[in-house]
């Protein structure tokens, strides 16, 4: 998971005259990790101490002069370098107060950028594509500079990378709508030119970001339609290949762009799995494109998002765990953290192991299929194709394409929409079922949200059942289902979505607890889970003990001669304990079970759990206690086939509820019995674990035992006698 | 000496059967031992507990109890028959139906004139012991409930009988029951179960000692029928009792595998007259039921479900010394002291003898070479070539395999002898009976290396040889001029087929010339039974190892001990060698190096190199580890003739094949133990 921490403002920005121009030319690192060299768009270079948010020094050029390149720091000589008026290179040290008195050299051609990297020399990139080392340039400033780029070819972006003592300068150019990548190796100097694939819309890339990984340079670029592509250039690439090569790209991410296209947006790779994007809409926010988001490209999940107040200029820099984003009237620094993402953390905690395996076989490879265009090979897929063949035979009318269905959804009646969606989904052979399903679902939800009368439960359920949908693809679906009291769809979503946010889980829980039993009992739910619950309740109705076992809960630990008492006795002794009757209705219990099995991470869940009110908490706890007792009584032998909450999940939820509502529960008089029972839960668990701990000692002895040499029935050995 | 490739064989699933009954003959110092499969073994306690004779079992025979009358051995079993054994021909002499249902016990009076048996139908039957037979005499008063155990008063006038929930004392002359001793039932849940009095002992002062299924050892006054003392010794059953000869000590064996000693001593030093039975010591050498016990003067002998015989010396005076020396005096006898494995040295075949079948295996093979300690990858796995099931009820008593692997023979007590030509072309030829089922009853078979003839000691005084150059079958017997009483238990031939040596339980070794079919010579009789012998293939010197671990080499041609043997006797064997507790069971030779003799017992094998100096008492005897650590130059000065390897344990056979690789057949005791039924559950600490 990635996290965006609370940011702070490093400095205010001057409003520039033109709306498109940014107030900041560039941010570069200093020798000190806490320093940042900010070059504004006009005349000033300011050195900031980031953690203190205060400037350490500022240098400006004279009125009339203009800084045309961000100031960079020379890590070898501890000097700053900046270019003014395209041709004048200025070099100064931190002690120098006046930039005018600093070293100046005028070169013969226009400079595009001066690039610096730790461990590498400064490199000057000229606007016509030539590259010089700064030192050699300064020794002969007026040396002729050749032009590499053709007429009308302009540099759009450049960077430099030091890899394995090899210095690279990368720059992209645009020429009549075509984009090229130049890779200039220094010492020996070679230049390789690649052509970027054209985006269908013909749009230009909004931003580039290059990073070095595994001896490859990864170039990440964002298009206005929300596609983030990645291209890989080998460090030890084919040298000496003449001409322009096509640069293969792969789609890493398709960002939801909302209406229209992205205007000023920028993507920067944080690590191999995470991309920070600024200037895009947040999927769950309705409007505005002023968000900074971190996406996981492996799972295509949104990991963190932050709204940036004010106009975003599509600029973002990332240095040492901090993102520098100019927005509105300020330059914000936002620290972030990207934990190594694993499937488990991406999908959340407490996935039912059996389910996780069966589902993941379908859901997880689909990322790859989406990205690399492979044919999906999940078992569901095969079933669907078989079905679709049958269907194709029976259907004479040609099926509609995805776009046609999308059009239909905008206007068509519920029944027709359901039919067409079903046909489309069961046809299944669409290249990217995953994408189309997501689009269909979003469209359906969007219409439902606009038209309150329109709600297509059948179509939505069908879409969810494809298992190609997840919550982040269509974030409003589950809430919509809740709104329409479509509990069947809710159950499906809870079962099949791997990424339901905790807030939504909580909302579901709250609704489920609050709904009157009568309302739910009429709803048809997934039969397996209902039959599981029926079995559990029926086992309770049979009641009594099996094999003379009574749950340790009831046993008074102080009384070693405790005899099993008849149930009536227990009734009198502690009436609240007699939980033979399920505290909630059958279907309600089924829904609650689904909530129990939803993945979550407890840090995020507890705050939302506080939304529940005291009676709801008590009722839920009673229910949890009921199933805990059922499980521990062992009356009901769990069928592994059925999807059912595990003991651990139950205990975890009890803990979470207690964490969230402890004070409330302590104060509430009707929770007293419940709490004391829960305490005995804990006691019995503690007892169990202490017993296990005792066994551990004995088992460890087994490890210490000398491993006996495995001697088989027959062997030929060699011995030596003296 | 060099490297050896060792075929480590563990696939011989030999499983000894549980010990059911035991009888010690104090006069001859022989212990008779009966196993569950009906076999009877005789151990000579004067000769290092050597297993002298084995009478093979039979499917229908079950032995519940054994009894010596003088030198004669009787048994009775649940098949309702009494049997007497022919200890010369090693087979039952006759058996007699007692007509009382299953027999639980058989005893004799001290005079040796009468036998008494306890039957399922509640009768105690008396038999008169005649010269060649026994004769039913009468029944004592019939009781309700079975008679489980009996004990005769030394005077012969009374018999105590252990039954269900009670003990009866009979007056023998009248046959009436004179006392009725009621035995309490166990506590708790076992209250509803009848108590079985598994064992009684009637002492000369009319004290009756009983052991029962409620875990009690009780002492009764036989005159008054009153209970004197109860010792609750176990939660389970007390299965066996045995009284020492002087009646000062009683041992009791329990289901827990413990043996508990009670002694008749004064509890305080001042009142030496007031003696009582006090529980003194507990021995735990068994994991399972102790079914049979014998207290002899110097030791307690016990056996039971866990199949091994334990001789626990009662060295009361030396206890302290022994403990200080860290020496475990307990002798455990696990394996039969004769060969169950025959090895075809030329062909690399092994023949395993089970009571009910024979298995012929071909050893595996490996091309690789390795360092000492390596395990070589197998090119070919061992292969079971043949499984030969015996016919009839009698268990196989001996088997042999010729060294070329072409001939195989086995025999049972009922004297049918099968041989089989196991040619490599069709190793599954059905067995052919090459010897007519004549009077040959053999306890020993030998197929000499040339596969030309087969030798079998058919009766105590006879060795018959059959040269079976198939299909013609010549049969000849070697008549012995001397009158022999004891059966031959060992036989060996020379490599050239000229000489045959046969040893009997009287420690005599006769050497025959097979070409002339005449007795060649008699080896000077040594005081201990030969446990293994072999004739050297090239020098025709015979190496004999005795039960007391002595080692001789006798030149058959010169009819005298060899110089090496004399030198060895003069110097004396090393004490470490003499202190070993299992006899050498096999002697083989290295065909390539005439100086080398290979011997093995259960715990080690030894290659004797006669060219090296003999160890004296100061030499380190087990010196392999030391030699390993020495450099090449230092080694020769530390070498001695006995090269002992203890890497392999629980050995049933060690043989040197003609290709100079060793075959080691191991039967790990752990594997035997793991096949035993579960012992009674005992609460152990931390379980």
Q: Using a CB-CB distance cutoff of 8 angstroms, which residues of chain A are in contact with residue B670?
A: none
pLDDT of A585 over the 80 cut = yes
Between A431 and A291, residue with greater pLDDT: A291
pLDDT value of position A684: 83
Write the ipTM: 0.80
**Predicted pLDDT at B150:** 93
Q: Which of B54, B56, B31 is nearest to B41 (CA)?
A: B54
* Residue A554 to chain B, least CA–CA distance (Å): 26
Question: How does pLDDT run across A142-178, given as a tens digit for each residue?
Answer: 888 888 888 888 898 999 888 777 888 899 998 888 8
- Residue B210, pLDDT score: 94
In DSSP notation, B631-676 reads -TTTHHHH--SEEEE-SS-SEEEEEE-TTS-EEEEE--HHHHHHHS
A722 shares contact with chain B (CB less than 8 Å): yes
Contact between B5 and A711 using a beta-carbon 8 Å cutoff: no
Check residue B487 and give its pLDDT.
76
Q: pLDDT tier at A567 (50, 70, 90 boundaries)?
A: very low
Question: CA nearest B277: which of B347, B230, B333?
Answer: B230
The beta-carbon neighbor of B686 closest among A698, A721, A722 is A698
Q: In chain A, whose CA is at the least distance from the CA of B660?
A: A718
Selected residue with higher pLDDT from A98 and A557: A98
Q: To the nearest whole number, what is the mean pLDDT of chain A? A: 77
Closest CA to B507 of B523, B495, B492: B523
Interface of B with A (CB under 8 A): 1-11, 364-366, 369-376, 378, 381-382, 607, 623-624, 627-628, 635, 639, 643, 645, 647, 661-662, 686
Best CA proximity match to B552, nearest among B539, B564, B536: B564
**How far apart are alpha carbons A433 and A489 in whole angstroms?**
20
More confident residue, A185 or B67: B67
> DSSP string of B470-522?
TTS-EEEEEE-SS---SPEEEEEE-TTS-EEEEEETTS-EEEEETTTTEEEEE
**Rounded Cα–Cα distance for residues A674 and A665 (Å):** 9
Lowest pLDDT segment from A307-311, A508-512, A591-595, B205-209: A307-311
For the residues B389-405, what does the mean pLDDT come to?
Answer: 82
Chain B nearest C-alpha distance from A556 (Å): 24
Look at strands B662-666 and B2-9 and give their pairing.
Answer: parallel
Q: Which two tokens stand for residue B188?
A: 């708790």
Residue B451 has pLDDT above 80, yes or no: no
pLDDT of residue A560: 39
Stronger pLDDT, B62 or B471, i.e. the higher one: B62
Higher pLDDT, A681 or B79: B79
Name the pTM for this structure.
0.54
Question: Which candidate from A713, A721, A722 shows the least CB-CB separation from B11?
Answer: A713
Q: Do B4 and A718 touch (CB under 8 A)?
A: yes
Q: Does B4 sit within 8 Å of A721, measured CB to CB?
A: yes
Q: How many CB atoms lie within 10 A of CB B623?
A: 19
Mean pLDDT of B472-489: 55
A722 and B607 within 8 Å at the Cβ level: the answer is no
**Cross-chain residue pair B7–A721, CB shorter than 8 Å:** no
Report how far residue A38's alpha carbon sits from residue A47's, in angstroms, rounded to the nearest whole number. Answer: 6
What Cα–Cα distance (Å) separates residue B228 from each residue in B149, B181, B205?
20, 11, 13
Chain B touched by A708 (CB under 8 Å): no
B591 pLDDT above the threshold of 50: yes
Report which of residues B495 and A611 the model is more confident about. A611
The strands making up B642-645's β-sheet, listed across from edge to edge, are B586-589, B596-600, B605-609, B642-645
Distance from CA of A714 to the nearest CA of B (A): 5
Q: What residues pair up with A332 in beta bridges, in sequence order? A: A9, A325
Position B483 pLDDT exceeds 90: no
Could you tell me the maximum CA-CA distance found in chain B, to the nearest angstrom? Answer: 85
Task: With beta carbons less than 8 A apart as the criterion, state whether B363 and A715 touch.
Answer: no
B374 contacts on A by Cβ (under 8 Å): 717-718
Average pLDDT for A73-95 = 88
- Among A283-287, A334-338, B516-520, the minimum mean pLDDT is found in A283-287
pLDDT of residue A577: 46
Nearest CA in chain A to B612: A722
A610-653 pLDDT, tens digit each: 888 888 899 998 898 888 888 877 555 555 556 788 888 888 88
Decide if A95 touches B, using CB distance below 8 A. no
More confident residue, A86 or A258: A86
Looking at CA atoms only, how far is residue B381 from chain A in angstroms? 8
- The model's confidence at residue A442, banded by pLDDT at 50, 70 and 90, is confident
Chain-chain contact of A714 with B635 (C-beta, under 8 angstroms): no
pLDDT in tens, A9-65: 888 887 665 555 677 888 888 878 888 888 888 888 888 888 888 888 888 888 888
Cβ atoms < 10 Å from Cβ of A288: 13
Interface touch B1/A722, C-beta < 8 Å: yes
Which of B7, B9, B375, B674 best tests the A interface by mutation, with the highest count of A CBs <10 A?
Answer: B375
Query: Is B4 within 8 Å of A720 when comparing Cβ atoms?
Result: yes
Average pLDDT of span B607-617: 88
- Describe the crossing of helices A457-465 and A487-496 by its angle, rounded to 10 degrees: 20
Least confident of B130-134, B436-440, B527-531: B436-440
pLDDT > 80? residue A1: no
* Record: contact B10-A713, CB cut-off 8 A: yes
CB A163 within 8 A of CB A118: no
Going by pLDDT thresholds of 50, 70 and 90, the confidence category of residue A370 is very low
Determine the pLDDT at residue B239: 93
Residue of B nearest to A709 (CA): B375
Check CB contact of A716 with chain B, cutoff 8 Å: yes
Pairwise CB contact (< 8 Å): A715 & B8: yes
With CA atoms as reference, report the closest residue to A319 among A2, A9, A26: A26
Lowest mean pLDDT among A4-8, A233-237, B272-276, B328-332: B328-332
Please judge whether A719 and B1 are an interchain contact, meaning their C-beta atoms are less than 8 angstroms apart: no
Q: Which residues of B touch A714 (CB under 8 A)?
A: 7-11, 364, 378, 381-382
Give chain A positions within 8 Å (CB) of B643. Answer: 721-722
DSSP assignment of A401-447 equals PHHHHHHHHHHS-HHHHHHHHHHHHHH--STTHHHHHHHHHHHHHHH
Q: How confident is the model at residue A574 (pLDDT cuts 50, 70, 90)?
A: very low
Contact of A715 with chain B, judged by CB distance below 8 Å, is answered with yes
pLDDT at A308 exceeding the cut of 70: yes
A497-517 pLDDT per residue, tens: 888 888 888 888 888 888 888
Top pLDDT among B279 and B415 is at: B279
Q: Cβ separation of A714 and B4 shorter than 8 Å?
A: no
Of B364, B623, B639, the CB nearest to A714: B364
In this complex, which of A698, A716, A721 lies closest to B1 when CB atoms are compared?
A721
Residue-wise pLDDT for A386-396, tens only, equals 444 444 444 44
* Helices and strands per DSSP (H, E), number in chain B: 6, 54
pLDDT of residue B682: 64
Question: Which of B2, B364, B369 is opposite residue A721, by nearest beta carbon?
Answer: B2
Specify the range with the lowest mean pLDDT, choosing from A434-448, A616-630, A632-646, B151-165: A632-646
For residue B369, which residues of chain A lie inside 8 Å, CB to CB? 718
Residues of A in contact with B2 (CB under 8 A): 720-721
Percent of chain A with pLDDT over 90: 1
* Nearest by CB: A722 against B366, B378, B628: B628
For B623, which residue in chain A has the nearest alpha carbon?
A722
Q: Roughly what angle, to the nearest 10 degrees, separates helices A586-597 and A614-633?
A: 90
Structure tokens at A37: 């060299």
User: Is the separation of the CB atoms in B556 and B498 below 8 Å?
Assistant: no
| Omega prior to B471 cis, within 30 of 0 | yes
Q: Does A702 touch chain B (CB under 8 A)?
A: no
Tell me which residue of B615, B622, B664, B617 sits closest to B643, measured CA to CA: B622
């Amino acid at each position: 998971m990635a996290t965006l921490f609370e940011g702070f403002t490093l400095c205010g920005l001057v409003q520039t005259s033109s709306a498109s121009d940014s107030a900041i030319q560039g941010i570069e690192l200093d020798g000190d990790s806490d320093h940042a060299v900010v070059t504004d768009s006009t005349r000033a270079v300011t050195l900031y101490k980031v953690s203190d948010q205060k400037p350490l020094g500022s240098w400006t050029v004279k009125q009339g002069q203009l800084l045309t390149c961000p100031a960079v720091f020379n890590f070898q000589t501890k000097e700053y370098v900046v270019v003014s008026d395209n041709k004048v290179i200025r070099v100064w040290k931190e002690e120098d107060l006046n930039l005018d008195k600093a070293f100046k050299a005028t070169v013969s051609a226009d400079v595009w950028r001066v690039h610096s990297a730790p461990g590498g020399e400064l490199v000057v990139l000229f606007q016509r594509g030539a590259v010089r080392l700064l030192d050699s340039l300064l020794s002969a400033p007026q040396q002729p500079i050749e032009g590499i780029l053709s007429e009308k070819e302009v540099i759009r972006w450049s960077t430099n990378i030091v890899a394995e003592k090899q210095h690279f300068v990368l720059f992209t150019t645009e020429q009549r709508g075509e984009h090229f990548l130049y890779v200039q190796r220094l010492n020996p100097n070679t230049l390789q030119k690649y052509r970027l694939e054209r985006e269908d819309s013909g749009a230009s890339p909004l931003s580039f970001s290059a990073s070095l990984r595994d001896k490859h340079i990864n170039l990440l670029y964002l298009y206005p339609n929300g596609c983030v592509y990645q291209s890989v250039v080998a460090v030890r690439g084919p040298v000496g290949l003449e001409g322009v090569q096509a640069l293969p790209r792969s789609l890493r991410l398709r960002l939801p762009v909302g209406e229209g296209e992205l205007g000023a947006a920028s993507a920067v790779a944080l690590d191999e799995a995470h991309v920070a994007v600024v200037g895009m809409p947040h999927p769950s926010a309705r409007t505005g494109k002023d968000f900074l988001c971190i996406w996981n490209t492996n799972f295509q999940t949104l990991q963190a998002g932050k709204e940036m107040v004010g106009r975003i200029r599509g600029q973002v820099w990332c240095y040492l765990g901090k993102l520098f984003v100019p927005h509105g009237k300020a330059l914000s620094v936002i620290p972030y953290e990207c934990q190594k993402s694993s499937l488990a953390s991406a999908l959340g905690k407490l996935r039912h192991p059996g389910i996780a395996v069966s589902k993941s076989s379908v859901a997880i490879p689909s990322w790859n299929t989406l990205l690399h265009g492979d044919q999906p090979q999940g078992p569901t897929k095969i079933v669907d194709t078989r079905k679709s063949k049958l269907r194709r035979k029976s259907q004479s009318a040609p099926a509609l394409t995805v776009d046609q269905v999308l059009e239909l959804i905008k206007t068509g009646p519920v029944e027709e929409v359901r039919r067409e969606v079903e046909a489309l989904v069961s046809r299944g052979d669409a290249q990217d079922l995953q994408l189309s399903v997501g689009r269909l679902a979003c469209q359906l939800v969007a219409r439902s949200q606009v038209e309150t009368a329109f709600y297509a439960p059948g179509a939505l359920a069908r879409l969810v059942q494809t298992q190609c949908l997840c919550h982040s693809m269509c974030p409003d679906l589950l809430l919509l289902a809740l709104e329409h009291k479509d509990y069947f769809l809710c159950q499906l979503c809870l079962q099949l979505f791997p990424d339901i946010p905790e807030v939504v889980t909580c909302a579901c829980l709250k609704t489920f607890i609050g709904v009157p039993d009568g309302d739910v009992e009429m709803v048809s739910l997934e039969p397996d889970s209902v039959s599981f619950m029926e079995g559990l309740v029926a086992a309770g109705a049979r009641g009594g003990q099996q094999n003379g076992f009574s749950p340790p809960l009831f046993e008074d630990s102080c009384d070693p001669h405790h005899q099993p008492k008849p149930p009536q006795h227990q009734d009198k002794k502690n009436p609240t304990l007699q939980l033979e009757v399920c505290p909630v209705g059958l279907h309600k219990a089924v829904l609650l079970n689904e909530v129990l099995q939803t993945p979550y991470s407890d840090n995020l869940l507890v705050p939302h759990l506080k939304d529940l009110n005291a009676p709801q908490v008590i009722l839920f706890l009673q229910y949890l206690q009921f199933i805990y007792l059922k499980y521990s009584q062992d009356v009901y032998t769990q069928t592994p086939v059925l999807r059912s909450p595990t003991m651990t999940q139950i205990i975890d939820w009890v803990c979470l509820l207690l964490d969230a509502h402890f004070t409330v529960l302590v104060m509430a008089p009707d929770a007293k019995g419940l709490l004391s029972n829960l305490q005995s839960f804990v006691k019995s668990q503690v007892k169990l674990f202490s017993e296990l701990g005792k066994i551990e000692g004995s088992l460890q002895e087994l490890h210490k035992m000398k491993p006996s040499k495995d001697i088989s029935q027959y062997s030929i050995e060699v011995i030596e006698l003296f | 000496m060099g490297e050896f490739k060792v075929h480590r064989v563990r696939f011989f699933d030999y499983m000894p059967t549980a010990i059911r009954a035991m009888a010690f003959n104090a006069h001859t110092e022989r212990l008779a031992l009966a196993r569950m499969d009906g076999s009877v073994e005789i151990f000579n306690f004067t000769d290092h507990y050597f297993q002298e004779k084995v009478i093979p079992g039979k499917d229908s025979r079950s032995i519940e109890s054994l009894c010596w009358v003088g030198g004669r051995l009787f048994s009775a079993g649940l098949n309702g028959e009494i049997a007497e054994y022919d200890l010369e021909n090693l087979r039952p002499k006759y058996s007699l139906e007692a007509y009382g249902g299953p027999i639980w016990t058989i005893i004799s009076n001290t005079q040796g004139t009468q036998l008494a048996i306890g039957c399922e139908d509640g009768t105690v039957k008396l038999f008169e012991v005649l010269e060649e037979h026994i004769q039913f005499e009468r029944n004592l008063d019939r009781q309700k409930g079975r008679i489980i155990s009996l004990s005769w008063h030394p005077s012969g006038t009374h018999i105590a009988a252990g039954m269900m929930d009670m003990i009866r004392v009979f007056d023998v002359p009248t046959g009436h029951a004179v006392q009725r001793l009621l035995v309490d039932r166990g506590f708790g849940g076992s209250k509803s179960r009848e108590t079985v009095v598994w064992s009684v002992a009637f002492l000369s002062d009319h004290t009756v000692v009983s052991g029962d299924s409620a875990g009690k050892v009780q002492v009764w006054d036989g005159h008054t029928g009153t209970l004197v003392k109860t010792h609750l010794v176990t939660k389970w059953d007390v299965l066996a009792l045995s009284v020492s000869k002087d009646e000062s000590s009683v041992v009791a064996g329990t289901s827990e595998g413990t043996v508990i000693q009670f002694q008749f001593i004064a509890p305080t030093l001042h009142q030496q007259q007031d003696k009582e039975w006090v529980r003194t010591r507990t021995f735990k050498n068994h994991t399972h039921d102790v079914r049979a016990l014998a207290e002899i003067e110097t030791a307690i002998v016990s056996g039971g479900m866990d199949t091994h015989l334990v001789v626990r010396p009662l060295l009361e005076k030396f206890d302290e010394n022994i403990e200080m020396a860290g020496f475990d005096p307990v002798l455990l006898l696990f394996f039969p002291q004769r060969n169950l494995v025959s090895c075809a040295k030329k062909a690399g075949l092994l023949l395993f003898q089970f009571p009910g079948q024979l298995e012929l295996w071909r050893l595996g093979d490996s091309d690789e070479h390795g360092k000492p300690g390596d395990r070589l990858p197998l090119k070919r796995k061992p292969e079971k070539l043949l499984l030969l099931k015996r016919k009839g009820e009698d268990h196989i008593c001996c088997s042999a395999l010729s060294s070329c692997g072409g001939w195989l023979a086995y025999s049972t007590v009922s004297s049918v002898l099968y041989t089989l030509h196991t040619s490599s072309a069709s190793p599954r030829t059905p067995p052919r009976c090459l010897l007519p089922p004549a009077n040959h009853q053999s306890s020993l078979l030998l197929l000499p290396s040339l596969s030309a003839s087969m030798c079998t000691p058919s009766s105590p005084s006879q060795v018959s040889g059959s040269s079976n150059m198939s299909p013609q079958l010549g049969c000849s017997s070697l008549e012995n001029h001397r009158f022999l009483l004891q059966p031959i238990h060992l036989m060996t031939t020379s490599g050239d087929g000229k000489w045959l040596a046969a040893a009997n339980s009287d420690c005599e070794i006769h050497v025959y010339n097979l070409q002339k079919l005449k007795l060649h010579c008699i080896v000077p009789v040594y005081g201990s039974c030969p446990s293994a012998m072999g004739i050297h293939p090239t020098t025709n010197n015979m190496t004999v190892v005795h039960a007391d671990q002595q080692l001789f080499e006798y030149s058959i041609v010169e009819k005298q001990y060899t110089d090496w043997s004399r030198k060895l006797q003069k110097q004396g064997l090393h004490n470490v060698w003499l202190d070993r507790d299992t006899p050498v069971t096999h002697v083989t030779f290295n065909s390539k190096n005439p100086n080398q003799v290979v011997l093995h017992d259960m715990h080690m094998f030894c290659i004797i190199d006669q060219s090296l100096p003999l160890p004296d008492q100061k030499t380190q005897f087990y010196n392999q580890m030391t030699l390993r650590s020495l450099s090449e130059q230092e080694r020769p000065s530390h070498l001695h003739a006995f090269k002992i390897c203890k890497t392999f344990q629980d050995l049933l056979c060690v043989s040197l094949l003609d290709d100079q690789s060793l075959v080691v057949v191991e039967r790990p005791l752990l594997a035997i133990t793991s096949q035993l039924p579960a012992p009674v559950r005992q609460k152990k600490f931390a379980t």
